[in-house]
Amino acid sequence: MTYTLPDVNFLPLMPILFVLLGAIVSTVGGFNTSRRNVTWFNIAMLVLAGLSMTSLLGFGLWNRDLSAFNGGVRADNVALMIGGVIVLGSIMSLLVSLDTAWRARVSFPEFDAMLMYAITGCLLIAFSGDLIVMLIGLEIMSLAGYVLATLQDSRRSEESGLKYFLLGSAGSAILIYGIAFLYGATGSFNYAGIAGRVAEVLNPATVNAAADAATTVALAPNNMGILVAGALLILAGFSFKVALAPFHQWTPDVYSGAPTSISLFLSTVVKVAAFAGMLRVFSGALVDAPAWHSVLQWLIAATLIIGNMAAYFQTNFKRLMAYSAIAHTGFLAMCLLAQPSAGGPALVYYLLTYTLMSGVAFAIIAALQRNESGLSIGDMRGLFYRHPAYAVALAICLASLAGLPPFAGFFGKYLAFQAAFQNGYQWLTVLAAITSVISLVYYLRPAMLMFMPDRTPAREYAHGQRPPTNATVLLGVLGVILLGLIPSLWYNFAANPGIWRLLAGIGQ
Amino acid sequence: MMHLMIFLPLLAALLVMVVPNKWREEVAIGSTLLTLGLGLAIWLSGGTGAYVRDWVAPLGITYSVQLNGVSLIFAVITAFMTFIAALYAVKRIPNPGTMLGLILAMETGLLGIFASRDLVLFYVFFEWALIPALMMLAIYGGPSRMKALVKFAAFTLFGSLLMLLSIIGVKYYSGADTFALYGFDVRLADGTLRHLSGLTERVVPQPVQNWLFLGFLLAMAVKLPLWPLHAWLPDFHEQNHPSGVPDVMGTLYKVGGYGLFIFAMPLFPNAMHDFRPVLMGLAAFTALYAAWIAFSQQNWKRLLAYAGLSHMGFVALGIFSLNETAIIGAMYLLAFQNLYTGALFLSVGMLQERIGSVDTRVGGVMTQAGAMGGLTMALWFASIAVPGLAGFIGEFSVLLGAYQVQPWITAVAALTVIAAAAYALTAFQTTFWQARPLGAVATRDLHGLEWFVLGLPLALAIFFGVYTLPALNLIQPAVQNVLGLAARALGGNP
């Protein structure tokens, strides 16, 4: 009997390990030092994690396509790009929390610890090579997220955390059930393995004669139903996580009930991670599987309508941003309907721009709100005359969220539309365009109110501008403008078709 | 020089925000004058060649710009009217820094619209010009601006998003390599030349073409505007700042006719040909209907908005007729309509400054402000197409050309000329003549800069009404070129 040692290689895990180190140090070191020191340490760790994904440090992972644990963890370029977005969003959240955590009464090291654990989970999803690792990452992320949403000592936050927990665990359960089905249908947890088996089942002609003919034949007709059921269950599970209608009900309550820096984190980083999982599973493992496309397009249609319509009627800006997050889920998910070579880069580009613009909007809410329920839209009247820089930054980000050129959101939307359009979902793109108009109206209203002269006394928190928040806002706005004027800065990395061929399990 | 002309106003807009307050006006006026100078220099040098560079290479989006023919004349007139608007804004608006910045930012968008030869670039500039227009309305607008603003934004953006889908569709279904209108060669890394095809080289097959054209048309019909998509226009003008400066910029923003001409005609020739009778009917109806509504307006700004709408009906009639004479007329009308309608908005602003109202039933203004009344009347003559003024050339050519295609529809549209005289002269009479109301404030006549602000556009309107050659030399070849492209796509059967 021969034993083979598992393929243990920690190099591809480097970014995750940095973040995990931050989490452990916050857990342990929080007893000995102030929360501020812990946070700065964590930001440093995140920066290191980000750098380790590029080739700047010399030992970077970019373009090396490393994998470990028999393909369970893959540090391919897709993982690194999405990991980069996650790290960026996390840095923004931490910077904002430096200013506002104290006001939100969540300023203790456990907050940082939970946040760093959540980021670890997020990165693990992006780096996952099989369903089990993905699930572990998802659960780490979700459990930490439930705690984060509840951490503030308030009834609203407790309610939101409980809602998040109950619906999130239902989502996880459905997801796990789907994973079991998928394993039953294909006999593999590995994305590449599943993709290969699905391709075999659907096109028996492509089966290599040397392959084990018996298993192939046994799989073909009987397991198709299980495969479809598994794919749909996973789709439902992910729909909870990314807030696709009709699984979105928890989102507005959680995003508006949680402390604002947590809303920032949940609506950007956690969403990016969940989309990374969807990208891995649907554009990778299940890319050839039947049925899920047609279900997903209806979910997207419902999301676009419900998210945008509901946002239209909001009077609280924070809640509006929560619904806008749902609406953007619809646009983001359109990328999944396309071929991976077109949809993948579109999704990666959109995720980055969405993180930047949504992050800025939440950061400004966090800085200006009087309490954690956010700002009402009427309160924003005349903001330009009180906080000109914030007003301009917020206006740029709202225009970008609405998809107006020359800001980055335009190319995000454009790419998503193009991806779905070229794969035959013309009706969905028309619907997306029509619902976009609604979104333009609700983004424009606060944006324009800010510039209207106002003689009533200010309704914002008086001491709203602090260096870390300003840095976040500046970073986001510069990113939104730069990526809008020169999309190639980021898109050229993503547009290389080679990296997406790997994702789809071709050329394994 | 061309890029400088396009982006100089934007740079100046940023500069206006940072320089000390006392320098703002000089910077703004100087840069608009410089832009105008650049435009005239380009005109004298006979236009620029096409400039093409990759923008987002993997997607086939290019930065292709060119200023020649129709786009050059539009760009120059835009630069001219921006100069006039900035001049008046400095005089009229207290602390005009923000307004000047917005005017300049919008100028870049407008010049970009006229210069771009790539559909996505066009879309980007198209939307870019919208943002300053919205901001002007938000910052300087009237009491119910929010409603006007939402209406304006919703209409325009609804159209443009569907146009975006059409843009995606045109490249996808035609199989072109880029979004550029004309193809170009690129030198690859190994030194070989590769031809990247442009959109005009491949025609989109029917019936997809019809659908794509409808998406494109919707955006342009909102901007044009064409009935029934015009509802935003009167509110937009009514709620804008009383000085009329934002209205001038808004007038320049009516680029729908230009978009149809430069993009829709070469890209969707079959569809335009198929829809021709319906669209011409719609255009004629718009012209007449708007004139009818204008007749019953008692607010100068709304009246001017509807008058502009009526002119746009003529422009649309000319373009949709696909007849060379009519298209030349439409372009002529579209270009010079900016001059006199813009100047009229400014004269309404002056009226409002003096008597505090934009109502058309004031009466007796002429007794004290004779020069203002005279210039305004002359501008109105240009607007209602009195021969010898620029408006006449445009309207007459449109009618002449369109008559050869659809005589009956054209005959209906021609009634507009009578209606225009009716609404314009009635309103003018009730404001400037009639009895001066008892206890009316003393009305100051034109002085200083105001002479320039109204006089220069009028002088140009007279000049181009009498001597059309410089403009026609630019417009005619461009129209023939576009019609040639369309005819080739139709198989020599326009």
Interface pTM, i.e. ipTM: 0.86
Range of A444-448, A472-476, B244-248, B291-295 with top mean pLDDT: A472-476
Which residues fall within 8 angstroms of residue B365, CB to CB, at 6 or more apart? B351, B354, B355, B372, B373, B431, B432, B436, B443
What is the per-residue burial (b if ≥16 Cβ within 10 Å, else e) of B396-423? bbbbbbbbebbeebbebbbebbebbbeb
Return the percentage of chain B with pLDDT > 70, whole number: 99
Query: Is residue B310 predicted with pLDDT exceeding 80?
Result: yes
pLDDT of residue B395: 86
With cut-offs at 50, 70 and 90, classify the pLDDT of residue A352: very high
pLDDT of residue A206: 54
Residues in A lying within 8 Å of B, measured between beta carbons = 345, 399, 402-406, 410-411, 414-415, 417-418, 421-422, 426, 429-430, 433-434, 436-437, 440-441, 444-445, 448-449, 451-453, 487-488, 491-492, 495
Which residues fall within 8 angstroms of residue B346, CB to CB, at 6 or more apart? B84, B85, B88, B243, B244, B245, B248, B453, B454
CA distances from B15 to A245, A387, A393 (A): 46, 20, 18
Measure CB to CB from residue B158 to each of A403, A404, A437 and give the nearest one: A437
Which pairs count as long-range contacts for B44-50, CB under 8 Å and 24+ apart, including other chains?
A: B47/B72, B47/B474, B48/B1, B48/B2, B50/B117, B50/B182, B50/B184
Asked if the Cβ–Cβ distance from B134 to A444 is below 8 Å, we say: yes
Q: Which of A322, A315, A307, A402 is nearest to A357 (CA)?
A: A402
Q: pLDDT tens-digit profile of B88-128?
A: 888 777 777 788 888 888 889 889 998 888 888 888 888 88
DSSP label of B264: I
Query: Is residue B253 predicted with pLDDT exceeding 60?
Result: yes
Asked if the Cβ–Cβ distance from A404 to B131 is below 8 Å, we say: yes
Alpha carbon of residue B295 to chain centroid: 23
pLDDT of residue A218: 46
CA distance B424 to chain A (A): 34
CA distances from A246 to A170, B47, B129 (A): 14, 56, 38
Q: pLDDT tens-digit profile of A211-245?
A: 554 454 445 556 788 888 999 999 999 998 888 88
Query: Is residue B77 predicted with pLDDT exceeding 60?
Result: yes
The answer to whether the beta carbons of residues B210 and B271 sit under 8 Å apart is yes
Asked if the Cβ–Cβ distance from A410 to B131 is below 8 Å, we say: no
Return the percentage of chain A with pLDDT > 70, whole number: 93
Q: Which of B460, B463, B441 is nearest to B452 (CA)?
A: B460
Mean pLDDT of B133-146: 81
Asked if the Cβ–Cβ distance from A433 to B162 is below 8 Å, we say: yes
Mean pLDDT of B325-332: 88
Closest-CA residue of chain B to A489: B56
**The two structure tokens encoding residue B391:** 């408006």
Query: Is residue A356 predicted with pLDDT exceeding 90?
Result: yes
pLDDT, averaged across chain B? 83
Q: pLDDT tens-digit profile of B357-376?
A: 777 777 777 777 778 888 88
Asked if the Cβ–Cβ distance from A448 to B130 is below 8 Å, we say: no
DSSP string, A268-329: IIIHHHHHHHHIIIIIIITTT-SSHHHHHHHHHHHHHHHHHHHHHT--BHHHHHHHHHHHHH
Closest-CA residue of chain A to B124: A405
* Chain B residues within 8 A of A440 when measuring between CB atoms: 153-154, 157
pLDDT of residue A217: 47
Helix spans in A336-457 (H): 340-368, 383-386, 388-402, 408-422, 426-449
Report the largest interatomic distance among the alpha carbons of chain A, rounded to a whole angstrom: 84
Which residues fall within 8 angstroms of residue B429, CB to CB, at 6 or more apart? none
Map residue A139 onto helix, strand or coil: helix
Q: pLDDT tens-digit profile of A155-196?
A: 888 888 888 899 999 999 999 999 999 888 888 888 888 888
* Chain B residues within 8 A of A491 when measuring between CB atoms: 56, 58-59
* Chain B residues within 8 A of A444 when measuring between CB atoms: 134, 149-150, 153
Q: pLDDT tens-digit profile of A454-490?
A: 777 777 777 767 888 889 999 999 999 998 888 888 8
CA distance B157 to chain A (A): 6
* Chain B residues within 8 A of A406 when measuring between CB atoms: 124, 128
Q: Which residue has the higher pLDDT, B90 or A128?
A: A128
The answer to whether the beta carbons of residues B199 and B227 sit under 8 Å apart is no
pLDDT of residue B414: 84
Query: Is residue B494 predicted with pLDDT exceeding 50?
Result: no
Range of A307-311, B181-185, B223-227 with top mean pLDDT: A307-311
CA distance A455 to chain B (A): 14
CA distance A418 to chain B (A): 6
Which residues fall within 8 angstroms of residue A29, CB to CB, at 6 or more apart? A38, A41, A109
The answer to whether the beta carbons of residues A431 and A304 sit under 8 Å apart is yes
Alpha carbon of residue A412 to chain centroid: 14
Phi and psi based region of residue B46 (left: phi greater than 0; alpha: psi -120 to 50; beta: remaining): left
Q: pLDDT tens-digit profile of A86-121?
A: 999 999 999 998 888 777 787 888 889 999 999 999
Phi and psi based region of residue A210 (left: phi greater than 0; alpha: psi -120 to 50; beta: remaining): alpha
The answer to whether the beta carbons of residues B268 and B216 sit under 8 Å apart is yes
Q: pLDDT tens-digit profile of A97-106?
A: 888 877 778 7
pLDDT of residue B491: 61
Query: Is residue A138 predicted with pLDDT exceeding 90?
Result: yes
CA distance B2 to chain A (A): 19
The answer to whether the beta carbons of residues A292 and A283 sit under 8 Å apart is no
The answer to whether the beta carbons of residues B166 and B213 sit under 8 Å apart is yes
How many other CB atoms sit within 10 Å of the CB of residue A184? 13
Q: pLDDT tens-digit profile of A245-256?
A: 888 888 888 888
Interface test with A, best of B14, B168, B212, B222 (most A CBs within 10 A): B168
pLDDT of residue A504: 66
How many other CB atoms sit within 10 Å of the CB of residue B289? 19
pLDDT of residue A506: 60
How many other CB atoms sit within 10 Å of the CB of residue A321? 27
Q: Tell me how far apart the alpha carbons of residues A187 and A185 are, in angstroms, rounded to a whole number.
A: 6
Rg (CA), chain B: 22
